[in-house]
Chain A
Amino acid sequence: MSREGLISPVLTKELKERFRTSRGPLVIFLYVGAVIAITLAFIYLNYRHNPVSFHPERSREIFIMLSMLQLFLIAFVTPGLSAGVISSERERQTLNILLTTRLSAASIILSKLISSLAFTVLLVVATIPVYAMVTLYGGIAAKQLAAVFGLYFLNMVFFGSVGVFWSTWIRRTGISTVAAYACIFALVVSTALGAELMDQYLRSQVMVQYQNTAAVTAPAPVHPEMSPYSGAGPGYSPPPVYESPAIVWILRGLNPVIVMISLFESMGWGGGTFWLEPWKIFTIGYAVLSICFILLSIYLLPPVRRGLRGVIGWKKF
């Protein structure tokens, strides 16, 4: 008997099963159709009053809209595809048989994840002609285009890992799918909302402290930069320049929507800047979280757990 090959039989089987039915092409058709329809509708709304002239700035706006739309669709499709990979095996009573073969838990989990990602990658690749159409008149740098697709890929891996994790933990596909969506929704909302609430609270604290302690001879304007008294008068102490703390930037960097915006706009947001760019925080954070979810799935899959050594199948023939 030979050793386990590089390409797991589970991956080959999954790809064969996924792409063999008519459901696959139908999903691609509907997905690309939806992207094209929404993009064309947006283009129409932008150019309906002046169809003959072209502005690169508008091309850029359409590109940003398309990128956000695609991000939303990825967040919608990926957990749906991955949250049933293990639980569906359990439901159709094939998992126990699979677990009595010589395939390791790591091999099964990774193969399942890759096969579900392969389909999502195909969906995104199928929309490239739409991007070509939108970026035809410029306004977008090649670097930005690459960054957007890099961000998609990271999101897919993360959303896929979340789906696989819930699918391994929860026996029913319906519940695991809902749990995966809830988890992703909670992450997106909590990072955006958490960052802004924390930022506003800390900013107000700084201002209160300033008002209480600063020795002012003239009434300090709330917004000194907009005030005619800005920096004027003896004894006047200008309010401190507020810098968002690292935790706020980290939370912002963990939000895919904010990171996507940061690829197009420089992120100052009235709270200074952070030494680590949002996309870097995102890459590190989501890579770590994805690895954690994958490792947890690998740990949870075997029916009889024997610690890490047995789970990742170090001991092989």
Chain B
Amino acid sequence: MIKTVGLSKNYKNVAALVDLDLTIDGGTVFGFIGPNGAGKTTAMSILATLLAPTKGKAFVGGYEVTEQPAEVRQLIGYMPDFFGVYDNLKVEEYLDFYAQAYFVPAARRPGLIKDLLELVNLSGKEDAYVDTLSRGMKQRLGLARCLVHSPQVLILDEPASGLDPRARVEMREILKELRKMGKTILISSHILLELTEMCDTIGIIEQGRLVACGSVEDIIAQVKSSNVVQVSLLNREDEAGAFLAQHPLVTEIKPREGQNILIYVKGGEEENFRILSDLINAGFPVSGFAVERENLEKVFMKITQEVVQ
């Protein structure tokens, strides 16, 4: 549904996007991860027909974004990271305006608006002025606005940014609902946990380059050259810390939190076993030895750190 080939964008001498090759299948959710200024918004703006690439091509539904923008706009619903609303309009008028802007027939609009407001949990707010809505409500209204023409593709740039935890959960639930409806979703977020739960595929972008792409499990497996173990002790934590710091299989040791020590072990289960044996043989009162599951946040930090270095 979405394809980019060697997509690049330069701002004067700054390369915001470098040879981005991306393929997103229809009906899947793709998560774009990257720090601020990595090139996520640039890539999304190009796909939303708002920015011309310096080099390369981008296709949405088979249409090239710079050659056939009208066709692309009919296929996409775009929600930028920061967007304003028309404060002097009522919620219903706001959605009606955008429905007209996509040439939705007048007879269809009232029913459509009712359904959309129900989907984003804003039923009963039809007659409220947009400026009276909370930030979370405005964000959900923005999402409803993206859906007025029933697009196949949603391009959502940080849809949960600036929202409180409750509003984030609500937003996540709506996105899950849209996923069930078969929409192709390209989403960027700083809340990596959300993406882990929602996305079929993720792409990690740093300094304009796509540095990793695939399912969450695949990417974790790709970068997993060491594992993290939490060692718990009844006492003698300082001595145990010094012992582990000298151990040849331990690559890194994190500052102690209470009676727990976090260590990075070079290798897998066999190496873990050897460290545990050495600790017990040395007489340390080990009360726990738990291998931590690698999460997306750590993978992200590791990959982006490598790129920066």
Asked if A pairs with B, the answer is yes
Which residue numbers of A lie inside 8 Å of B, CB to CB?
1-5, 9-10, 12-13, 16-17, 20-21, 92-94, 96-103, 303-304, 306, 310, 313, 315-317
Are A101 and B101 interface neighbours, CB within 8 A?
yes
Q: List 15 A-B contacts (CB under 8 A).
A: A5-B100, A9-B100, A13-B86, A93-B80, A97-B80, A97-B145, A101-B98, A101-B102, A102-B70, A102-B74, A303-B49, A303-B52, A304-B49, A306-B67, A316-B70
1/0 contact string of B72-88 vs chain A (CB within 8 Å): 01101010101111101
| Complex Cα–Cα for A94 and B86 (A) | 8
Are A3 and B51 interface neighbours, CB within 8 A?
no
B93 smallest CB distance to A (angstroms) = 7
Q: Tell me whether B69 is interfacial, beta carbon within 8 Å.
A: yes
Interface of A is mostly: loop
Report how many residues on chain B are interfacial, defined by Cβ distance under 8 Å: 32
Chain A residues with CB under 8 A of B98: 97, 101
Q: Tell me whether B89 is interfacial, beta carbon within 8 Å.
A: yes
Extra contacts besides A2-B105, A101-B98, A303-B52 (14): CB < 8 Å: A1-B102, A1-B104, A1-B105, A12-B100, A13-B89, A17-B86, A17-B89, A93-B80, A94-B84, A96-B80, A102-B74, A303-B51, A304-B66, A306-B69
| Complex Cα–Cα for A21 and B149 (A) | 30
**A-B pairs with the 9 shortest C-beta distances?**
A9-B100, A92-B84, A101-B101, A93-B84, A304-B52, A17-B88, A94-B84, A1-B103, A100-B78
| Complex Cα–Cα for A93 and B66 (A) | 22
A96-B50 contact in complex given A4-B103, A102-B101, A304-B69, C-beta closer than 8 Å: yes
Partner of B49, one of A10, A100, A103, A315: A100
Q: Tell me whether B264 is interfacial, beta carbon within 8 Å.
A: no
Partner of A102, one of B50, B73, B83: B73
Which residue numbers of B lie inside 8 Å of A, CB to CB?
48-52, 66-67, 69-70, 73-74, 76, 78, 80, 82-86, 88-89, 93, 97-98, 100-105, 145, 149
A21-B88 contact in complex given A1-B102, A93-B83, A97-B145, C-beta closer than 8 Å: yes
Chain B residues with CB under 8 A of A317: 70, 74, 103
| Complex Cα–Cα for A228 and B269 (A) | 124
Please, which residue of chain A has its CB at the minimum distance from the CB of B78?
Answer: A100
Chain B residues with CB under 8 A of A1: 74, 102-105, 149
Are A96 and B83 interface neighbours, CB within 8 A?
yes
Please, which residue of chain B has its CB at the minimum distance from the CB of A21?
Answer: B88
Name the residue in B78, B93, B100, B102 with the highest tally of chain A Cβ atoms < 10 Å from its Cβ.
B100
| Complex Cα–Cα for A134 and B70 (A) | 54
| Complex Cα–Cα for A315 and B104 (A) | 18
A93-B49 contact in complex given A2-B105, A102-B102, A304-B69, C-beta closer than 8 Å: no
A20-B70 contact in complex given A93-B83, A100-B76, C-beta closer than 8 Å: no
Chain B residues with CB under 8 A of A103: 101
Are A20 and B83 interface neighbours, CB within 8 A?
no
| Complex Cα–Cα for A316 and B69 (A) | 11
Please, which residue of chain B has its CB at the minimum distance from the CB of A104?
Answer: B70
| Complex Cα–Cα for A10 and B73 (A) | 17
| Complex Cα–Cα for A163 and B83 (A) | 25
Chain B residues with CB under 8 A of A4: 103
Chain B residues with CB under 8 A of A12: 97, 100
Chain B residues with CB under 8 A of A101: 73, 98, 101-102
A135 smallest CB distance to B (angstroms) = 38
A9-B101 contact in complex given A17-B88, A96-B50, C-beta closer than 8 Å: yes
| Complex Cα–Cα for A315 and B73 (A) | 13
A89 smallest CB distance to B (angstroms) = 8
Chain B residues with CB under 8 A of A316: 70
Are A94 and B48 interface neighbours, CB within 8 A?
no
Please, which residue of chain A has its CB at the minimum distance from the CB of B83?
Answer: A93
Please, which residue of chain B has its CB at the minimum distance from the CB of A108?
Answer: B101
Please, which residue of chain B has its CB at the minimum distance from the CB of A302?
Answer: B69
Are B103 and A102 interface neighbours, CB within 8 A?
yes
Chain A residues with CB under 8 A of B74: 1, 102, 317
A20-B88 contact in complex given A2-B105, A100-B49, A100-B50, C-beta closer than 8 Å: yes
A310-B69 contact in complex given A96-B80, A100-B50, C-beta closer than 8 Å: yes
B131 smallest CB distance to A (angstroms) = 11
Partner of B89, one of A16, A92, A100: A16
